[in-house]
Structure 1
Amino acid sequence: MKKAFNFREFLADNAVVLIFVVITLASIPLSGLSLFSITQEILTRIGRNCFLVFSLILPIMAGMGINFGMVLGAMAGQIGLIFAVDWNIVGVPGLIFASLIAVPIAALLGWLAGYILNRARGREMVTGYILGFFMDGFYQLIVLYFMGFLIPVHSLNITLSRGYGIRNTLTLDSVRQSLDQLIPLHIGGMVIPLANYLVIAVLCLFIIWFRRTKLGQDMRAVGQDQAVAHAAGIPVDQTRIIAIVISTILASLGQLIFLQNMGNVATYNAHKQTGFFAAAAILVGGASVSKATIPNVFIGTVLLHLMYIVVPRAGINLFGNAMIGEYFRDAFSYAVIALALVLHAWRKRANAESARSGLRGELRWKIRGLKDAGTAGSGA
């Protein structure tokens, strides 16, 4: 029987998406930007950011929530880029070289993160967030002191004047937009980075295929109920670690795609907000900390970055100050994460209460049935 439409449930499930749709629709005419320029910018940002957002799907599927520890993968990607720039490997080969360095580091960091998160079961998101801050200290130590001192760095152009440590900002001229310009597609005056979209399409196919594998089914089972999964013979801890490892590796590759598009890297800061922006995007797309799909990634990336494009310009036109728009943008971005977490907690509590009410009602019927049976037996 088809379930009747419940407007209240619809609002609860799509509150975040609806809020962003209203904000962006109201801001577009106020921004004064043309539809052409908005579309061009959105197409560029989809190719630049989607890969990072996709790295969050598998941990959510495994019941570990938003992987804020994905910043560990971003750090690994930046280390790979530093070596690619130091060795002056140009173009797509430079990105491949950076990937070969970043992936093993990301896998090791992902295993470490997964091991720690298993010890913080039920508190994975906040633990991953703090773990990112913790590992950032080691990253700073390696990049600021070890590189050029213990780790050989050949190019004096990327080191500090003292002879060791990497400069605050690196220009990525050797790999700048190398993937974007590999297969440029021109349609109606707009330039679409087709190679980026092909890479994202391959990742989508991988996720669809992975969900159908035994490991993917195990992750879904672990995400639904760890006790049942353990009783079924699924190695719960190992499956959760694998989800984090894959997520961290994808984050390192996503950071490479993001930075090659930007053309420069803030060595000590570029990775810090990676998890926050990716989490905001997937939550804006309608995902929750317990369920995420491929459409959630695309919808969220479009809506979030559409707001990033139009709100600051709307702030200029309304208040004569772009910073007003920046403040609104940051406020809404943080608010969407808070709202999504609150809705998840509310829904989880409501479901638990509903389940308890159902059990109490069933128990009452059983007790009443036993009493009726006892009465009938006495009468006989």
Structure 2
Amino acid sequence: MSTKQKKNGAKSPLELLRNNSVPIMFILICAVCIPVSGFSPGYLINEILTRMGRNTFLILSLLIPIMAGMGLNFGMTLGAMAGQIGLIFAADWQIWGIPGMVLAVIISIPISVLLGLFCGKMLNMAKGREMITSYIIAFFMNGLYQLVVLYMMGPVIPIKHASIKLPRGYGIRNTVSLLNMRQALDNLWAIRIGGVKIPVLTLLITGLLCLFIIWFRKTKLGQDMRAVGQDMDVARDAGIKVERTRIIAIVLSTVCAGIGMVIYLQNMGNIATYSSHTQIGMFCIAALLVGGASVDKASIGNAFLGVVLFHLMFIVAPSAGAKITGDSMIGEYFRVFVSYGVITLALIMYETKKRIAKGKAGEQLKLDQSEEE
């Protein structure tokens, strides 16, 4: 690449390929699997729109901590737990449909704020190791969540409805039915075009979150978060309260994750009480990375592209695996392997880029010093 190209910010085809290797890889996988799977275009579009409405809100909740330089927030699982607790209470009080969802969101928000404050304070004690710390915090809080749901709901926290309690009289069943709430949001204002159902209201709510993120980036707090994400020491010298700003980023992410979990579970129509939240963070992070995001840079476009590519692979891989090998489980293993593999690959690429950038910065510093001498 010439010096002139570098000054103009132009990138070589090889650099563009390297920067977008994960989305390109998924586009190629989908291009191979779609014809083999045998699914019709109408079915695939319908599935993608359904999954876009179900998952995008959750994925967008990851953007604010990335902006604040805190990496991929595995602690979003805490918000998912808060959303589930809200839905358990809605099911117990037999409040269904949109009112039940609104109630679940209202219950989840204060729980999400408390969990977000706790998580943010912990992450401030582990600067530079936020991702692994948030991952372990999610495990710790999962144990506390199970203690509350399995032993405290009934004897300590009143649960009236027998259908959601375990036969022993306390604790919540493994599965809580949300059949009376299933797709209440998705079906309201839904339109059908050529057999394809478009969940208009769900996508509008997701669009509102996108507008909020765009607006938030322009606010004083949003600018502070970007400054903290670029360099904490410089931000502190500029008078920004770094620790407070980072806590706010995690709290906002956790609250959004709680609301997103309510949207996700109303689409599914049931709660797997002890397992729904455990993989949600992993799959949302994988989808965001598939869309071309990195540990330190992510956009709304990355979230939407990631939903399409990641879930398209989820739809077609089992069928393609069954047709190629005669065993549909191959496709299941493949998509789980890929979801974890993408996270690993993205983290390796991020660390490699960081080291290359450090090396170049060091060389440039030596060159500047030698010129001064």
CA offsets 1:32-60 (integer angstroms, 9 cap, x no match): 11111011000100000000000000000
Q: CA deviation at 1:332?
A: 1.1
Contact conserved, 1:12 with 1:343, CA < 8 A, in 2? no
Q: CA deviation at 1:9?
A: 1.3
Q: Provide the alpha-carbon RMSD of the alignment.
A: 0.8
Q: After TM superposition, list the pairs within 5 Å mapping 1:334-353 onto structure 2.
A: 334-353=340-359
Q: Distance in 2 between matches of 1:4 and 1:49?
A: 34
From 192, 198, 221, the counterpart of 2:198: 192
Matched, 1:93 2:99: yes
Matched, 1:254 2:269: no
TM-score, with structure 1 as normaliser: 0.96
Query: Residue 211 of structure 1 aligns with which residue?
Result: 217
Paired AA for residue 315 in structure 2: I
Query: Residue 316 of structure 1 aligns with which residue?
Result: 322
Q: Secondary structure of 1:191's match?
A: strand
From 194, 202, 225, the counterpart of 2:208: 202
From 231, 246, 254, the counterpart of 1:225: 231
Matched, 1:165 2:171: yes
From 51, 56, 61, the counterpart of 1:50: 56
Q: Secondary structure of 1:180's match?
A: helix
Paired AA for residue 137 in structure 2: L
Paired AA for residue 359 in structure 2: E
Q: CA deviation at 1:185?
A: 0.9
Q: Distance in 2 between matches of 1:297 and 1:347?
A: 22
Query: Residue 136 of structure 2 aligns with which residue?
Result: 130
Contact conserved, 1:77 with 1:253, CA < 8 A, in 2? yes
Q: CA deviation at 1:7?
A: 2.3
From 263, 277, 288, the counterpart of 1:282: 288
Q: Secondary structure of 1:329's match?
A: helix
Paired AA for residue 114 in structure 2: L
From 109, 113, 120, the counterpart of 1:107: 113
Q: CA deviation at 1:175?
A: 1.6
Matched, 1:150 2:156: yes
Paired AA for residue 150 in structure 1: V
Q: Secondary structure of 1:68's match?
A: coil
- Find the structure with the greater CA-based Rg: 1
Matched, 1:116 2:126: no
Paired AA for residue 127 in structure 1: T
Q: Distance in 2 between matches of 1:335 and 1:288?
A: 14
Q: Distance in 1 between matches of 2:366 and 2:329?
A: 55
Contact conserved, 1:77 with 1:256, CA < 8 A, in 2? yes
Query: Residue 3 of structure 2 aligns with which residue?
Result: none
Q: Distance in 2 between matches of 1:3 and 1:164?
A: 63
Q: Distance in 2 between matches of 1:328 and 1:197?
A: 29
Contact conserved, 1:280 with 1:334, CA < 8 A, in 2? yes
Q: Distance in 2 between matches of 1:173 and 1:187?
A: 25
Contact conserved, 1:85 with 1:174, CA < 8 A, in 2? no
Q: Distance in 1 between matches of 2:300 and 2:237?
A: 30
Q: Secondary structure of 1:292's match?
A: coil
From 17, 25, 35, the counterpart of 1:29: 35
Q: Distance in 2 between matches of 1:63 and 1:280?
A: 18
Q: Distance in 2 between matches of 1:33 and 1:242?
A: 44
Q: Which runs of 5+ in 1 are unaligned?
A: 368-380
Paired AA for residue 372 in structure 2: K
Contact conserved, 1:94 with 1:174, CA < 8 A, in 2? no
Q: Which runs of 5+ in 2 are unaligned?
A: 1-6
Query: Residue 331 of structure 2 aligns with which residue?
Result: 325
Paired AA for residue 32 in structure 1: G
Contact conserved, 1:282 with 1:297, CA < 8 A, in 2? yes
Q: Distance in 2 between matches of 1:311 and 1:339?
A: 20
Q: Distance in 2 between matches of 1:101 and 1:363?
A: 59
From 169, 176, 186, the counterpart of 2:182: 176
Q: CA deviation at 1:331?
A: 1.1
Paired AA for residue 155 in structure 2: F
Q: Distance in 2 between matches of 1:321 and 1:54?
A: 35
Query: Residue 141 of structure 1 aligns with which residue?
Result: 147
Contact conserved, 1:68 with 1:132, CA < 8 A, in 2? yes
From 8, 12, 16, the counterpart of 2:18: 12
Q: Distance in 2 between matches of 1:76 and 1:3?
A: 44
